[in-house]
Amino acid sequence: MNEKKAHRFEREFENFLQEEKHLALMVRTRVNRWKGSKIAVRHKPYGAWISYTWADFGEQIDDAAKGLLAFGVKETEMVGIFSNNRVEWSIADLAALSIRAVSVPIYGTDSREEAEYIVADAGIRVLFVENQDQYDKARAILDTSTVLEKIIVFDKTVSLQKGDDVMFFGDFLEMGRTSGQDAGLEQRLARLESDDLATLIYTSGTTGDPKGVMLSHRNILAMMFDPEGHLLLGERDVNLAFLPLSHVFERAWTYFIFLRSAENHYCHDTKKILEFLKESRPMYMCSVPRMWEKVYATVMEGVSTAPPLKRKLFTWALEVGGRVASCRRDQRPIPLLLKAQYGLADALVLKKIKALFGGRTVFYNVGGAAFSAEIAEFFFKAGILLLLGYGLTECFPICIANATHNKFGTSGPVLPMVEVRISDQGEIQARSPSMMVGYYKKPELTREAFTPDGWIRTGDVGTIDEEGYITITDRIKDLMKTSGGKYIAPQKIEILLNEDLFIEQSAAIGSGRNFVSALIVPAFDQLEKYARNQGIAFSSREELINRQEVQDFYRARIDHLTQRLGQVEKIKRFTLIAREFSQDAGEVTPTQKIRRKVIDEHYTDDIDAMYREK
């Protein structure tokens, strides 16, 4: 970026900061603008959709803020949210911010031990929870914690132990409404500043204890700054909050939805995503590669078993869709003949794919892990625009594709006001106004996170091309060095494997070994259906995966999936695993990233067996 442009962006950002200043004030501005004339948020915690106008939303934020004041929550005090996505999540979050407190999310899937660590480390005295499972964990923490004092429960169907230390969210709001804290709230609002600490987001981390990333309101507002106007969404648009709000990606995007006065819908159960998509019909959504890998695998499996004429029609429709999508991306006119062909292709094929997602997609963001260029291009041709992005909690976002700047296989171009360089070791390093303040109570780790000249060390290996597009190849600590001295990127292999309908999870193995192997968790719903159709008898998962027919079936699929890999990257041996890698076992993070060290420890015998002479 040239110096003149950089200075312009800096001035525009400072103007943006003066206008919005603080997340709580930003939302209050929209509440005052729209009042009861427009829906702000919707969710369906009890089976039917419930809508809240901006006036409803703002009133509940204020009542919750006054409730926190009545509990004696001080400025800069940490307030915890241990919940899946729902409207109350955002209300609790914005209530804490409104009184100059700090919001600390905990993944709804975290174990008691993981939640307890965050409660203790952050010193959380007041904790919001959602469902029975989270309440039971919080209650157990409350009984032994030296800091936790109050639990507030969102879901009114949860069975509570009565006491002054636990209450339902509805009762909490009523308490705040009648607390006489109106003046106290106004005093706190008057003291809000852009450099106030907004949140601690604990990185789930693939190694070591979680670290509390400190982000200010300035940091988060920088994440939402769009000086080049690539993000056109506005007040008539609808977003579905699908990823956990505990994650910086969904959290920042949800604030952006509020900034643009769009309507935000909340998905509380990711396993029901197709149901939510059909009912919400979102134009926008944040997502992770695994969702698209599963949909792609399902569609392609159906196509592979279709009659030849249908397969030919499908291929033709995708080719036409791709040509039209390319014209739109490159802002070229669509020729009349192509437009007519597209009408037919859409009616016969493409419309059915788009209907899976509600039929009015503008674009869906994809992040959190490396993603297959082939799958991104497939959905592009089908009319579902997937825009990759890249960043980390400590510096988010770094790059994002947009409707007119989108190269398959890359994570998009570097954003305005973000600087990126590649170190001699191939590490991506970045500098941006969204960079964290530091790790909470961990000055030594904070120093290690930055280079001596102030750039964030991402820990990711990648490249940046002449147009500023970033490509991520792997994590530095995940790179495998074989006994022959070759470096191999396991994610590259796992992306290919996870495209398959019959593979749920995979872990490439090879560090210090003389060849690459893999642990494979089958997609058992699909495998069991296949086995029954083939007349393969089994009484358990263990018996099924040890049948020679199943071993041969996976050998053929793995060889096909990895046929384009170099010889040293190919999977020589594999082991099928009867259970999924789980968060409870510490094998994956809340965002489903593999903890390789734990996998190696838990499956030592299986791994060693693959390297014995056969």
**Per-residue confidence (pLDDT) for residue 367, from 0 to 100:** 87
| 309-336 average pLDDT score | 97
Across the chain, mean pLDDT equals 94
Please name the residues in contact with 583: beta carbons below 8 A apart, sequence gap of 6 or more: 109, 110, 111, 589, 590
Please name the residues in contact with 161: beta carbons below 8 A apart, sequence gap of 6 or more: 139
DSSP 384-452: --EEEEEEETTEEEEEE-BTTB--TTS--BBPTT-EEEE-TTSEEEEE-TT--SEETT-HHHHHHHB-T
Q: What does the chain come to in residues? A: 614
**What percent of the chain has a predicted confidence (pLDDT) above 70?**
99
**Per-residue confidence (pLDDT) for residue 1, from 0 to 100:** 62
Question: Which letter does DSSP use for residue 588 in this model?
Answer: B
Dihedral sign for Cα atoms in the order 276, 281, 284, 290: positive
| 438-460 average pLDDT score | 96
Closest CA to 328 of 313, 339, 315: 339
Full set of structural domains in the chain with CATH = 3-35+51-228 (3.40.50.12780), 287-428+442-476 (no CATH), 479-610 (3.30.300.30)
| 431-460 average pLDDT score | 96
pLDDT band (50, 70, 90) for residue 5: confident
- Give pLDDT tens digits for 115-134: 999 999 999 999 999 999 99
**Per-residue confidence (pLDDT) for residue 474, from 0 to 100:** 82
Report which residue type is found at 266. Answer: Y
Residues paired with residue 521 on neighbouring β-strands, in sequence order: 505
Query: Are the beta carbons of 459 and 205 closer than 8 angstroms?
Result: no
- Give pLDDT tens digits for 577-598: 999 999 989 999 887 888 999 9
Query: Are the beta carbons of 291 and 298 closer than 8 angstroms?
Result: no
Residue 513, SS3? coil
**Per-residue confidence (pLDDT) for residue 483, from 0 to 100:** 77
| 551-567 average pLDDT score | 95
Dihedral sign for Cα atoms in the order 392, 395, 398, 403: positive
**Per-residue confidence (pLDDT) for residue 372, from 0 to 100:** 86
- Give pLDDT tens digits for 392-440: 999 999 999 999 999 998 999 999 999 999 999 899 999 999 999 999 9
- Give pLDDT tens digits for 527-539: 999 999 999 999 9
Choice between 524 and 485, residue whose per-residue pLDDT is larger:
524
Neighbours of 13 (CB within 10 A): 18
**Per-residue confidence (pLDDT) for residue 207, from 0 to 100:** 57
Residues paired with residue 509 on neighbouring β-strands, in sequence order: 517
Res. 189: pLDDT tops 80: yes
- Give pLDDT tens digits for 273-296: 999 999 999 999 999 888 998 899
Dihedral sign for Cα atoms in the order 113, 118, 120, 121: positive
Res. 208: pLDDT tops 70: no
Residues paired with residue 343 on neighbouring β-strands, in sequence order: none
DSSP 313-373: HHHHHHHHHHHHHHHHHTT-PPPHHHHHHHHHHIIIIIHHHHHTTTS--SEEEE-SS---H
The Cα–Cα gap between 268 and 84 comes to: 6
Res. 171: pLDDT tops 90: yes
**Per-residue confidence (pLDDT) for residue 206, from 0 to 100:** 53
Res. 2: pLDDT tops 80: no
**Per-residue confidence (pLDDT) for residue 66, from 0 to 100:** 98
Dihedral sign for Cα atoms in the order 428, 433, 438, 444: positive
The owner of tokens 């083939």 is 534
Phi, psi dihedrals of residue 145, rounded to the nearest 5°: -75, 145
| 346-371 average pLDDT score | 92
**What percent of the chain has a predicted confidence (pLDDT) above 90?**
86
The Cα–Cα gap between 20 and 221 comes to: 8
**Per-residue confidence (pLDDT) for residue 251, from 0 to 100:** 98
Out of 35-44, 60-69, 401-410, least confident range: 401-410
pLDDT band (50, 70, 90) for residue 182: very high
Choice between 82 and 288, residue whose per-residue pLDDT is larger:
82
pLDDT band (50, 70, 90) for residue 205: low
